[in-house]
Structure 1
């Protein structure tokens, strides 16, 4: 059984990478997942000795050196001329802590603003600049080159992919999303169902009536906003009742499978993928067909972020059943707003370990207060001693 920890590089740089590694190893953590490319974030860092708040625009936490095409990674201004990833990786070269890469893909408001023509496009034709569209060849080329540089330059173990899919949803995009119409999960899904030229062409080539699908999405979003349809409706049920939209959305599953196969064949590393951002059973809303993608990744990590340990186990078991025989690792958020005491952390770790993952990973070193880090260490020790 292994234990991992997600971390932002600035926390290791500010606290001292070797010191942090020693503390993690003493806690029982075997593996570090270092953010190498990330979305825009404002982070409260309770035990960072240099700053308690970090704001970083979406971008690479390293200084890019490789050749890129039309889209290229942009380091956040917060980093300046430094190279956070290189610093941490070099510092931990001789550490017993295994260092892995954690790479955010399509969720990038900087690149989405700069390249609106490649952003997720609503059924109304408006770009959602926080999400790049993986149907676009330029986006896929950028992400492939990004992973090639990350794995080629740095001595990482595994590479964990986040939002290498059709990213959507309010509360995740900009610093201040504004929604004063209750369109529910269905409305958010339909608003984020991409109708860029590339998505339209792929669906049309697959025999889908694209104009009919787009018109249905437009009308439904407006009706939801006006209260003519209940916002509490199930997206899966609605889509099943609207076969043209179902067919349009399903085309994306083949596109992502093709993309993941390309990554698997091109990138020289063990690749894993996050699942369960909105729940395992709603992965289809991001275009992810787990039964098809499992052929092209080495592992999945399910976000078992739940208040109750039993619910975290259920999320893991649901993912494991869908992705077998590809292994699934379990992610745990041992802090606010879900978990508020050490006994609960211990219950999560114990019950998840019994369920069978080969790794439990905790989110996130710099965001958790020191007492929560102590809870993790005690939970691991209770099982491993």
Structure 2
């Protein structure tokens, strides 16, 4: 199976051994961040630092000044790496080590953008803004995201891209000093808390025959028992059961209108972004989407229609955490519709983040049996030495079964 590892430029820049170390894992590709959200990252092997704090979402290359001149929404630049173009420096080193480089582009997830432009973000049924979640139904946001996709995806030397957060973002967010766990939310209630009521979305619901105030009241009413201690309503397990619960909470007709509005906004953004990337690449260039097979879901792995997504992308990258049933629920719908498209199983290989590098060979085989044709390893820069050793052994065994270490 073709295998790629995720990396940040700061994992490579300033470390002359990094590229060779990644190549020695046995991967064929690196998916290297070119536009990324804020993070605090461990760099356990770097000779110059151990912690990198990316204080805000930024592009990790010099943006085109002409493209962004005079625009309110524009990408922020980074200043936590001394390199003028850290993506390019890292990409060159990785390519010299024999690795194919693809870009990793985070789109609709940007806390600084939302803080600087509060009218651009998702607002929930209570009027609370989500600064980290640009509302993708807003024309100014869509224009920004489409141009960002084209610029950040098509960097010199890149052979393809993986687009993350190319759709709706919602309440769920890994936030500093987070204090939102006091009332557990089910998938259905997460969805209700993620619905947007900005002026554009309110007009969109109304245009489909559903007054925004009626929908707002329905959402608040559905959530009221939760805040009163009644617990989160749960339906049948899995993605289909989650949507059934949403319909029960909102009413089937209201849920259908909301779904129609949000699906239309997400699908048109996705197609426009992919089209812009292909036009900028002007040649053979692979475009994959980080995705979830439940179209109503939002977040880094955006919800899509598995029957539609392969018509305009080259494939999907699917998170494969959890047990065998969860993995089948995630991969199965895509495998059924992939045709000639790619389904890449994204496996966490950092033990401290819940990953299991020691079972990578078995997990990869199970993912392949469910229709995955490629692997993604999250995340070679964050993993400790023990985790990387396990990854090397697993990939060597997958490439040559006779080289597997006896258990």
Asked if TM exceeds 0.5, the reply is: yes
Partner of 1:175: 176
Partner of 1:284: 296
1:351-362 alignment, distance < 5 Å:
351-362=366-377
Q: CA deviation at 1:108?
A: 0.8
Between 106-115 and 176-185, the greater mean CA deviation after superposition: 176-185
Among candidates 109, 131, 134, match of residue 133 of structure 2: 131
Q: How far does the alpha carbon of each residue in 1:186-240 deviate from its partner, in whole angstroms, 9 at most, with x for none?
A: 3322121111111222222223333211211122233311124x31424422322
Contact 1:103–1:161 (CA under 8 A) maintained in structure 2: yes
Contact 1:260–1:293 (CA under 8 A) maintained in structure 2: no
Contact 2:153–2:160 (CA under 8 A) maintained in structure 1: no
Alpha-carbon distance in structure 1 between the residues aligned to 2:122 and 2:79: 25
Alpha-carbon distance in structure 2 between the residues aligned to 1:210 and 1:324: 40
SS, match of residue 33 in structure 2: strand
Q: CA deviation at 1:311?
A: 4.8
1:140-159 alignment, distance < 5 Å:
140-159=142-161
Between 200-209 and 139-148, the greater mean CA deviation after superposition: 200-209
Among candidates 75, 83, 93, match of residue 85 of structure 2: 83
Partner of 2:403: none
Contact 2:105–2:153 (CA under 8 A) maintained in structure 1: no
Among candidates 250, 254, 273, match of residue 260 of structure 2: 250
SS, match of residue 15 in structure 1: coil
Alpha-carbon distance in structure 2 between the residues aligned to 1:309 and 1:10: 34
Contact 1:109–1:173 (CA under 8 A) maintained in structure 2: no
Q: How far does the alpha carbon of each residue in 1:151-185 deviate from its partner, in whole angstroms, 9 at most, with x for none?
A: 44422111111111111233x24212222334443
Segments of 5+ residues of structure 2 without an aligned counterpart are: 236-241, 279-284, 401-407
SS, match of residue 167 in structure 1: coil
Partner of 2:112: 110
Contact 1:9–1:85 (CA under 8 A) maintained in structure 2: yes
SS, match of residue 79 in structure 1: coil
Partner of 1:9: 9
Q: Does 1:187 align with 2:194?
A: no
Q: Does 1:267 align with 2:277?
A: yes
Contact 1:312–1:348 (CA under 8 A) maintained in structure 2: no
Contact 2:3–2:376 (CA under 8 A) maintained in structure 1: yes
Partner of 1:22: 20
Q: CA deviation at 1:131?
A: 0.7
**CA 1:323–1:252 in 2, change beyond 3 Å: closer, same or farther?**
farther
Contact 1:310–1:351 (CA under 8 A) maintained in structure 2: no
Partner of 2:317: 301
Q: How far does the alpha carbon of each residue in 1:59-108 deviate from its partner, in whole angstroms, 9 at most, with x for none?
A: 11222124223211112342356321121123345442100001111111
Between 375-384 and 351-360, the greater mean CA deviation after superposition: 351-360
Q: RMSD across aligned C-alpha pairs, in angstroms?
A: 2.3
**CA 1:167–1:324 in 2, change beyond 3 Å: closer, same or farther?**
farther
Q: Does 1:209 align with 2:225?
A: no
Alpha-carbon distance in structure 2 between the residues aligned to 1:204 and 1:54: 46
Contact 1:213–1:245 (CA under 8 A) maintained in structure 2: no
Contact 1:7–1:33 (CA under 8 A) maintained in structure 2: yes
Between 72-81 and 142-151, the greater mean CA deviation after superposition: 72-81
User: TM-score normalized by structure 1?
Assistant: 0.89
Alpha-carbon distance in structure 2 between the residues aligned to 1:298 and 1:38: 22
**CA 1:60–1:29 in 2, change beyond 3 Å: closer, same or farther?**
same
Alpha-carbon distance in structure 2 between the residues aligned to 1:13 and 1:232: 48
Among candidates 229, 238, 247, match of residue 240 of structure 1: 247
Q: CA deviation at 1:324?
A: 4.7
Q: Does 1:321 align with 2:336?
A: yes
User: TM-score normalized by structure 2?
Assistant: 0.85
Q: Does 1:350 align with 2:349?
A: no
Q: CA deviation at 1:142?
A: 1.1
Segments of 5+ residues of structure 1 without an aligned counterpart are: none
Query: How many residues are matched?
Result: 375
Alpha-carbon distance in structure 2 between the residues aligned to 1:13 and 1:249: 44
Contact 2:121–2:134 (CA under 8 A) maintained in structure 1: yes
